Structure 1
Amino acid sequence: MEPVHPTSSESNQTPPAIFSGKVQFSGKAGEFFGIWIVNILLSIITLGIYSAWAKVRTYRYFYGHTRIDGHSFDYLATPIQILKGRILAVIAFLIYTLLSSLAPAIGLLFAIGFLFLLPWIINQGLRFNMRMTRHRNVRFAFSGNYGDAFINFVLLPIASVFTLHLLLPYVLKRIDQYMHENISYGNKPLTVNLQGERYYIAALITLGVAIGGLVIFGFFAGASALTIDNLNTQNFSLSTIVVPLLIATLYVAFLTLVGAVYHSLIRNHIFNNSEFTEVATFDSNLKAIDYAILLFTNVLAIIFTLGLAYPWAKVRRAKLLASVTEVTIYSGALSLIDVAQNEQSSFAEEAANVFDIDISLT
């Protein structure tokens, strides 16, 4: 989709641009590998306590190497903040697990109660993440409320089940709209204009790719099995190694392609239809095939190096996403006011991590 640009009447009121260019990511796999391996070792030695420091070091590395107009991002959270929130979240999770095992009825009540707690956890997690992000000495903020979060993250997904998930693209659109339109940069809210039909188109394209991928996957899996059977008749015992490996590789390729198609279409739509009025506009041109190849090779590299290629894969992904993202900054950015409150709790964010809730933004 073409990026949204102001009309002629609006452009007369738009302040002059002071920067227009791609996001720059200068991180290097070798540098991050050193940080990553130390994080792993110290987290193991300290029985997970150091993981709070590991998270902050990782965030600060990627934020610090991501630049727009020569200005990098800052991650402001401290390890102690993360550690306190993580400890509380783990305690809450352990209590839930213990009660569920001892008294399933109580566990069920907790599960129902968790549905009502979920919107608060998501809101607080997003609020913490935004508040701890800064660019040009101005912090981001999140202003979502419980009622809207409950509708978008609880009621609508449940309703989607009763429509055989035909409502799912609309639900995903509502979730993305909610998460992004409640973001502000300083005193400027993010204006977002997402279109439901784009989500249905993305879903149909992804479904078509999935069906085509399944057909190809089935064909090659069957052909591989026949080939190995023929080899086995010639006393080659390869089926127990080659067939599972080939099928697993094809399956990974299939999943990465399907995920890349949907993510690229939706990411482009969100970026191209969002702006901080008189402050910044965005363009994204992420191509599904490029993203699929990157994800697939990343997964293979991680598998065949027993995880040691993870830093390389993470840096590659960050570089690709930065290279397809363009930002135009207007002079209004020079007069922004930092209005983010200096709250300290990270409990909700860590609770979201413990309970496996993905609240990351596109």
Structure 2
Amino acid sequence: MENTAKTAANTRQCQVEFSGKAGEFFGIWIVNIFLSIITLGIYSAWAKVRTNQYFYGHTRIDGQAFRYLAKPMQILKGRLLALAIFIGFFLLSSASPILAGFVILGFVFLMPLLIVLGMRFKMRMTGYRNVRFDFHGDYADAFITFFLLPILAVISLYLAMPWVLKKMDEYLYDNISFAGNSLTVNTRTASYYAASLLAVASVIAVVIVLGILGAMLFSAGLLAQLSSASFMLTLVIFIGYWLAFALASAIYGAMIRNHIFESCHFENLASFQSNLQVMPFLWLNVTNLLAIIVSLGLAYPWAKIRKAHFLAGVTTVNLSENANQLLDNVQPNTGAFGEEAADLFDIDVSLA
């Protein structure tokens, strides 16, 4: 294949491919919206399956496409369960302030469980070469990582937040397995602090520039003379702040994505590389959002397909020499019993 090259004596580098087309996905997307509306949201479960099947099926590594294995009823049951929990919490919290406190406390203890179940569902419903991924995280670690550690970040006046974000990513990735191989993650705290500091510095720099600009115009008396100038300045400041946070998001997102990919590998199977650059990523996000706004949402399928192409183009997988042999010897875990177990115990508990 043209996108496969030898990178070492025992590995070959494979460019991730995405072959989806905006026109094709637009047809799926518009039908999904229409049927979800007329069924009062019930069809949204089928819509999610169709969407994921399209994106998974058009994403390939070494010529092999991914598969999305979830069934619409699994999604629907999970959403009904999540909705029932939400309504129950709302009714109880509305009954009395005391019950509201217990509801909040119950929600705190429930959220780590939802994270575990959500990740387990997502991984088990993802297949590659007839082998499912899996997730082995437990509730105790999730509670510590996603509840106790954020409290520590607040107590430290957010000085510990980059380290907390690192621990969150480690929990999510370090518990993934595929074909009997656990994903090994060796992230560095320094990389998270560097990304966070650069992101914050970019926002501060833009705020300073906007402050200087406003002060110069105010001292020149332009704002007092023209009400339209005041409106324009307010608009410019709003756009400036938005771009500042978009830049910060692009900086942090690109740096952390690249770091996580280079820090992860499946032993004797695969390692990963990401070459996501900040400014192209910023341009992608800004233009996608503008296109969606200008088109009143109709450009969403184009933006989603465009982003998938972009991210695939900056991602490569280094497959070990014996990867094919390892995968060929793994028994597919999609048998009848596995499917029935998935129907009973694997449900998507998210409302999104």
Q: Normalising by structure 2, what TM-score?
A: 0.88
Q: Which residue does 1:49 correspond to in 2?
A: 42
Deviation (angstroms), 1:245? 4.4
- The alpha-carbon distance between structure 1 residues 335 and 305, as it changes in their structure 2 partners (threshold 3 A), is same
1:343 counterpart = 2:342: yes
Q: Which of residues 114, 122, 128 in structure 2 aligns to 1:135?
A: 128
1:332 counterpart = 2:323: yes
Question: Could you tell me how far apart the structure 1 residues matched to 2:14 and 2:137 are?
Answer: 30
- The alpha-carbon distance between structure 1 residues 55 and 143, as it changes in their structure 2 partners (threshold 3 A), is same
1:168 counterpart = 2:167: no
- The alpha-carbon distance between structure 1 residues 173 and 117, as it changes in their structure 2 partners (threshold 3 A), is same
Question: Could you tell me how far apart the structure 1 residues matched to 2:106 and 2:248 are?
Answer: 34
* Paired residue type of 1:343: A
Whether the 8 Å CA contact 2:199–2:251 is kept in 1: the answer is yes
Identity %: 47
TM-superposition CA deviations, 1:209-238 (whole Å, max 9, x none): 1211222344456678899957974xx957
- The alpha-carbon distance between structure 1 residues 57 and 245, as it changes in their structure 2 partners (threshold 3 A), is farther
Deviation (angstroms), 1:350? 2.5
- The alpha-carbon distance between structure 1 residues 144 and 227, as it changes in their structure 2 partners (threshold 3 A), is farther
Deviation (angstroms), 1:313? 1.1
Deviation (angstroms), 1:324? 0.6
Q: Secondary structure at the match of 1:206?
A: helix
Q: Which of residues 283, 286, 293 in structure 1 aligns to 2:273?
A: 283
Deviation (angstroms), 1:278? 0.8
Whether the 8 Å CA contact 2:130–2:333 is kept in 1: the answer is no
Show structure 1 runs of 5+ residues with no match.
Answer: 1-10, 355-362
Number of equivalences: 337
1:78 counterpart = 2:71: yes
Deviation (angstroms), 1:239? 5.6
Q: Which of residues 190, 195, 219 in structure 1 aligns to 2:188?
A: 195
- The alpha-carbon distance between structure 1 residues 168 and 237, as it changes in their structure 2 partners (threshold 3 A), is closer
Q: Which residue does 2:140 correspond to in 1?
A: 147
Question: Could you tell me how far apart the structure 2 residues matched to 1:339 and 1:163 are?
Answer: 45
RMSD of equivalent CA atoms? 2.6
Deviation (angstroms), 1:276? 0.6
- The alpha-carbon distance between structure 1 residues 247 and 187, as it changes in their structure 2 partners (threshold 3 A), is same
Deviation (angstroms), 1:244? 5.1
Deviation (angstroms), 1:248? 3.6
TM-superposition CA deviations, 1:250-278 (whole Å, max 9, x none): 33322211101001111001000100111
Deviation (angstroms), 1:162? 0.7
Q: Which residue does 1:309 correspond to in 2?
A: 299
Q: Which moves more between the two structures, 161-170 or 108-117?
A: 108-117
Question: Could you tell me how far apart the structure 1 residues matched to 2:284 and 2:210 are?
Answer: 20
- The alpha-carbon distance between structure 1 residues 216 and 315, as it changes in their structure 2 partners (threshold 3 A), is farther
Provide runs of 4+ in structure 1 moved above 4 Å.
Answer: 219-233, 236-240, 242-245, 338-342, 345-348
- The alpha-carbon distance between structure 1 residues 347 and 245, as it changes in their structure 2 partners (threshold 3 A), is farther
- The alpha-carbon distance between structure 1 residues 74 and 217, as it changes in their structure 2 partners (threshold 3 A), is farther
Q: Which residue does 1:16 correspond to in 2?
A: 10
Whether the 8 Å CA contact 1:63–1:72 is kept in 2: the answer is yes
Question: Could you tell me how far apart the structure 2 residues matched to 1:191 and 1:131 are?
Answer: 18
Question: Could you tell me how far apart the structure 2 residues matched to 1:29 and 1:58 are?
Answer: 12
1:323 counterpart = 2:325: no
Q: Normalising by structure 1, what TM-score?
A: 0.86
TM-superposition CA deviations, 1:80-119 (whole Å, max 9, x none): 1101111111111011112212222212111112212222
Deviation (angstroms), 1:21? 2.2
Q: Secondary structure at the match of 2:296?
A: coil
Q: Which residue does 2:254 correspond to in 1?
A: 264
* Paired residue type of 1:305: S
- The alpha-carbon distance between structure 1 residues 118 and 222, as it changes in their structure 2 partners (threshold 3 A), is same
* Paired residue type of 1:53: W
Q: Which residue does 1:295 correspond to in 2?
A: 285
Q: Which moves more between the two structures, 329-338 or 151-160?
A: 329-338
Superposed, 1:222-233 pairs within 5 Å as 233=226
Q: Which of residues 151, 157, 168 in structure 2 aligns to 1:158?
A: 151
Deviation (angstroms), 1:345? 5.2
Question: Could you tell me how far apart the structure 1 residues matched to 2:191 and 2:277 are?
Answer: 16
Whether the 8 Å CA contact 2:183–2:264 is kept in 1: the answer is yes
Superposed, 1:116-135 pairs within 5 Å as 116-135=109-128
Q: Which moves more between the two structures, 301-310 or 270-279?
A: 301-310
Question: Could you tell me how far apart the structure 2 residues matched to 1:246 and 1:139 are?
Answer: 49
Whether the 8 Å CA contact 1:85–1:345 is kept in 2: the answer is no
TM-superposition CA deviations, 1:23-61 (whole Å, max 9, x none): 111111121111111111111111111111111111111
Q: Which moves more between the two structures, 127-136 or 306-315?
A: 306-315
Deviation (angstroms), 1:302? 1.1
